[in-house]
């Protein structure tokens, strides 16, 4: 994994952590989770299960993507696109929570 791929993976982790943080702040501020799966986890076992599951999936996907990326370099392009979408989600969370 080169510098570019490391940076893409780093952004993936950073955006997901920011999503968890702003989701937590939003829920603490009285906002409602709009993601149906996230809402079901919050309504059922609780919000900490949502945070734990999301973090576990993110941390497990990084080595998987790195492994797939060695064989199929186009996987990094898909992760770049996913990072852009995730950045948009984080920005939307910022607007809702801060604004």
**Rounded Cα–Cα distance for residues 7 and 11 (Å):** 6
pLDDT tens string 30-72: 888 888 888 898 888 888 988 899 899 888 988 888 888 888 8
Which is higher by pLDDT, 66 or 13?
13
**Rounded Cα–Cα distance for residues 19 and 90 (Å):** 5
**Three-point CA angle 19, 20, 25, nearest 5°:** 95
Return the half-sphere exposure (C-beta side, CA atoms, 13 A cut-off) of residue 54: 23
- State if pTM tops 0.85: no
Q: Domain limits of the chain?
A: 3-98
Is residue 2 scored above 80 in pLDDT? no
**Rounded Cα–Cα distance for residues 74 and 5 (Å):** 11
């Amino acid at each position: 994994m080169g510098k570019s791929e490391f940076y893409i993976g780093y952004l993936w982790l950073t955006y997901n952590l920011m999503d968890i943080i702003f989701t937590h702040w939003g829920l603490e501020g009285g906002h409602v989770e709009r993601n149906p799966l996230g809402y079901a986890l919050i309504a059922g076992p609780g919000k900490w299960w949502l945070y734990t599951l999301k973090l576990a999936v993110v941390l497990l996907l990084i080595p998987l993507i790195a492994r797939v990326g060695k064989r199929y370099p186009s996987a990094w392009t898909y992760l770049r696109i996913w990072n852009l979408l995730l950045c948009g989600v984080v920005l939307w969370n910022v607007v809702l929570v801060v604004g």
